[in-house]
């Protein structure tokens, strides 16, 4: 806490946003004057916050107090000195500090997404291994839409025109929003986010930002911060940024591709390849992803909208095949030097919780290595013409698979799995009570 106090004083911070991440990926917490923050050395909020769905609903009352203390008590949040940011968009000097969650006995709170990622990182540490990840985040820029009944529209760029057609890797299409992109990179530099490349993706006004590879917890924090940052930058420029998995009809979805590799903690050597080629650990890791992603699918595709991204023949993967330089499979292996040998998991949507998505993909690979299972044969051709039968590509099937997975419960804890599944169900139940424009359009006068 002393280092944080010094940092706050050196930067003349007046206000602190004390934040943690819920299951959906929404920032939750409190805003405190800096003097109050320093005096308290942390803060408390109800444990039930972790069981709040995206729609704002808590999980079913009959289940809520089987997962948390029936007195509806607080959990204790403690600031992480490695996750402190000065927000570049606020009028007064304001810090955002990401906190870890603990119960009142001082133990890590098992419903916290950050706790779950730390648990998986520790599994690797026990094997003297370190995971390295590099996320790629896709998003759409849209006009501000205050009426959710209306479809989203593409914003106007600096030329005064909105994009027409798909402009994959189009340089001029990036420069249409150059002032926005410049702010994103300037703010990212101020925040210490390790952004590398920006490319124009397939969709209209769709962009992908790539992060430099690094340690999983740091990258999860950075993605969490990034999602807030780009939305604030969009507001500044008069439009919106969205990470919805499928925000626009007839356009590709938004993904969070996760590149991942493992290094020996003592030597720093990549264990996925050596001078002789790919290692057994590499193939076991791929096999783990193939076998266990279906049992953790609600983490990679957490919302009802997430599954609209998985359409055969389009950009999103609809299988768990693997192949070198093959973008039609769910598990792409970039053609890279030995020390950079890695797997790219293309399944997660951009709407996922970054802590949970990184934790889940690393856990799948870990179990594969523990069980020494073998992957399928490498796919050499186009593999996305039809959806794989072994993938749960709707939310009901996905929830059922995770809910009944003893392996997932063993590693992530029954409490977390139950709580996470119930927040998914709460959103789904809320969704089922909404009458959509499609239903009014096709059924109102025809049935």
Residues of the chain with pLDDT under 50: none
pLDDT computed for residue 355 by the predictor? 98
Is residue 116, in this structure, part of any structural domain at all?
A: no
Residues 262 and 391 in one domain: yes
DSSP one-letter string for 171-238 = HHHHHTTHHHHHHHHHHHHHHT--EEEEEE-SSTTEEEEEEPPB-HHHHHHHHHHHHHHHHHHHHHTT
Residues 259 and 390 in one domain: yes
Q: What is the CATH number of the domain that holds 253?
A: 3.30.590.10
pLDDT computed for residue 60 by the predictor? 86
Q: What is the CATH number of the domain that holds 21?
A: 3.10.20.70
Q: Are strands 129-142 and 206-211 parallel, antiparallel or unpaired?
A: antiparallel
Is residue 87, in this structure, part of any structural domain at all?
A: yes
Q: Identify the helix (H) or strand (E) that includes residue 417.
A: helix 414-432
Is residue 408, in this structure, part of any structural domain at all?
A: no
pLDDT computed for residue 169 by the predictor? 83
Report field, pTM of the whole predicted structure over 0.85:
yes
Instruction: Domain count for the chain, please give it.
Output: 2
Residues 182 and 304 in one domain: yes
Residues 21 and 2 in one domain: yes
Residues 177-194: pLDDT tens digits?
A: 999 999 999 999 999 999
Is residue 239, in this structure, part of any structural domain at all?
A: yes
Exposed e or buried b for every residue in 404-429, given b needs 16+ CB within 10 A? ebeebbebbbeebbbbbbbbbbbbbe
Residues 397 and 418 in one domain: no
pLDDT computed for residue 242 by the predictor? 97
Bridge-partner residues for 142, per DSSP?
240
Residues 181 and 216 in one domain: yes
Residues 94 and 145 in one domain: no
95: Cβ contacts below 8 Å, ≥ 6 apart: 8, 11, 13, 15, 16, 17, 34, 84, 85, 86, 87
Domain range spanning residue 37? Answer: 1-108+413-447
Residues 7 and 40 in one domain: yes
pLDDT computed for residue 236 by the predictor? 97
Is residue 165, in this structure, part of any structural domain at all?
A: yes
Q: Is 308 helix (H, G, I), strand (E, B) or coil?
A: helix
Is residue 115, in this structure, part of any structural domain at all?
A: no
């Amino acid at each position: 806490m002393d280092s944080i106090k010094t940092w706050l004083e050196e930067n003349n911070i007046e206000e602190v946003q004390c934040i943690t991440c819920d299951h959906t990926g929404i920032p939750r917490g409190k805003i405190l004057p800096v003097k109050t923050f320093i005096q308290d050395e942390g803060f408390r909020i109800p444990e039930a916050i972790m069981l709040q769905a995206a729609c704002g609903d808590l999980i079913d009352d009959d289940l809520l107090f089987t997962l948390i203390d029936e007195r509806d008590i607080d959990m204790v949040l403690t600031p992480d000195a490695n996750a402190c940011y000065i927000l570049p968009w606020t009028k007064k000097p304001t810090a955002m500090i990401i906190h870890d969650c603990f119960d009142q006995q001082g133990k890590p709170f098992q419903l916290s997404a950050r706790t779950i990622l730390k648990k998986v990182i520790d599994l690797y540490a026990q094997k003297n291994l370190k995971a390295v990840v590099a996320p790629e985040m896709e998003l759409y820029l849209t006009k501000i839409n205050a009426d959710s009944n209306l479809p989203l529209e593409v914003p106007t760029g600096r030329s005064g025109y909105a994009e027409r057609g798909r402009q994959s890797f189009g340089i001029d299409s990036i420069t249409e929003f150059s002032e926005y992109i410049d702010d994103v990179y300037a703010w990212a530099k101020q925040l210490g986010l390790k952004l590398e490349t920006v490319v124009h993706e397939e969709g209209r006004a769709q962009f992908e930002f790539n992060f430099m590879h690094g340690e999983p917890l740091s990258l999860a924090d950075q993605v969490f911060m990034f999602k807030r940052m780009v939305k604030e930058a969009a507001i500044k420029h008069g439009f919106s940024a969205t990470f919805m998995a499928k925000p626009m009809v007839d356009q590709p979805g938004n993904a969070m591709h996760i590149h991942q590799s493992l290094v020996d903690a003592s030597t720093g050597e990549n264990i996925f390849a050596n001078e002789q080629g790919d290692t057994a650990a590499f193939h076991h890791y791929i096999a783990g992803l193939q076998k266990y992603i279906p049992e953790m699918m609600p983490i990679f595709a957490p919302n009802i909208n997430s599954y609209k991204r998985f359409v055969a023949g389009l950009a999103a993967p609809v299988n768990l095949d693997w192949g070198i330089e093959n973008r039609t499979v769910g598990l792409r292996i970039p053609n890279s030097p030995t020390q950079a040998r890695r797997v790219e998991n293309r399944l997660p949507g951009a709407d996922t919780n970054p802590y949970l998505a990184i934790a889940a993909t690393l856990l799948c690979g870990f179990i594969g290595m523990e069980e020494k299972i073998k992957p399928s044969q490498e796919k050499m051709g186009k593999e996305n013409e039809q959806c794989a039968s072994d993938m749960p590509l709707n939310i009901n099937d996905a929830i059922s698979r995770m809910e009944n997975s003893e392996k997932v419960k063993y590693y992530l804890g029954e409490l977390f799995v139950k709580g996470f599944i119930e927040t998914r169900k709460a959103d789904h139940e809320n969704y089922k009570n909404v009458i959509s424009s499609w239903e009014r359009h096709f059924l109102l006068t025809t049935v």
